[in-house]
Amino acid sequence: MDNGLYIVAVASLAAYYGWAISKVGRAPKAGPIATRYQPPDGMSPAEVRYAWKGCVDERSVACVLAQLAVQGRISIERAGGGYDIARTDGPAIAANGIAPEEQVAMDWLFSNFLTHFKFNPQHDAQGLSMALRGALDRRLRGKYEATHYGYVSVGLMGSLVAAYWLARSGGIITRVPPPLIYGQFMAALLASIVVTVMLIPAIVDYSRGIGSIGRIVFALAVSALGVSGAIGVAVRLQESAPAVFPIAVMALAALNVLPVPWLRRMTPEGIVARAQSEGFRDFLVRVEQDQLDRANPSPFHLQSKEAMLPFAIALEVRETWGDSLANACWPHMITD
């Protein structure tokens, strides 16, 4: 089969995503950032991160635990490789109650009438993060950001059809079973997602001083596993198909991951929330950094009276306690 057909298939998918991005429209311009001396009105630390960063992750877990401690709902003590978290009996500081996602965290920690929980970040953070994601998505999905992921669903279906069409047009389908072709596609898709979601953010965070070498090594190991799997299937395909075929299939898979950031758009409310969050972050960096460092100088000690700490964690202001807990949520394959 002419190699031009492979080029046409990949170029057509790229053109489709170019059209989809243009259809979504240009990203709205952010307004001027003014320094704020208080957090955005009515927003919890986890919601601030959800609006500012567009994600629920290990820092969301850290800021929710810090907020519950600040509000007098829990006490946190470092114990070995984890944290002893206890429900407190004293009156809560927050007069207006706690945010829904914080109540979800309380229910998750102290289910079945427990009063103490041994929190191991490397084992428990993912479960708590998923619970927080569910709570925040139910309450805030579409409020701060529109994702337009429907275009990706169409692109994935078109990619699978294109892979089958290439195999059939070149007579490859008679020599290679379709499950192996689709296995190549899914392996390449998974490898692309892992690199995009884990490895690149780990490197970016470390360059900003809020990540860890252990997190990068872990992301590298998982990424290498995914990439080696895709390459392994490609090598097997080359036994019965031209070398350009598995390359084209991997390109079709990767093209469904690369455009995702360009399909996300902030809503008008999201633009306001992000601007307010940036303004408050500017205040924390310029004014409160030294106070945060003095209040929480050690990753083993949380000064629960420091009300700014949960927001500093959410907005990625460098400080010892939150950075340590967030980094501990990743398996450490070497000593930092």
pLDDT tens digits in sequence order for the chain, 336 residues long: 567 889 999 999 999 999 999 999 887 777 778 888 889 989 999 999 999 999 999 999 999 999 999 888 999 988 877 899 999 865 555 555 789 999 999 999 998 777 889 999 988 998 999 999 999 999 999 999 998 989 999 999 999 999 999 888 878 888 888 888 889 899 999 999 999 999 999 899 888 888 888 889 889 999 999 999 999 988 888 788 888 899 999 999 999 999 999 999 899 999 999 999 999 999 888 875 566 666 566 666 676 667 888 999 999 988 878 888 888 887 654 433
Query: Cα Rg for the chain, rounded, in angstroms?
Result: 23
Residues 194 and 155 in one domain: yes
- The Cα 273–Cα 51 span in angstroms is 6
Closest alpha carbon to 7 in 256, 172, 241, 248 = 248
With respect to residue 157, please indicate whether it lies within any of the assigned structural domains: yes
As a whole number of angstroms, the distance between CA 214 and CA 228 comes to: 21
82 forms beta bridges with: 79
DSSP H helical ranges for the chain: 3-24, 45-53, 58-70, 100-109, 121-140, 150-169, 178-194, 200-207, 213-237, 244-254, 268-283, 289-295, 309-314, 320-328
How many CB atoms lie under 10 A from the CB of residue 232?
12
Task: Please tell me whether residues 211 and 315 are part of one structural domain.
Answer: no
- Residue 62 structural domain: 45-146+305-328
**How many domains does the chain contain in total?**
2
Q: What does DSSP assign to residue 28?
A: P
- pLDDT (0 to 100) of residue 293: 60
The answer to whether residue 292 sits within a structural domain is: no
Q: Is residue 139 part of a domain?
A: yes
Residues paired with 87 in a beta bridge: 74
Which residues make Cβ contacts (< 8 Å) with residue 16, sequence separation at least 6? 154, 155, 158
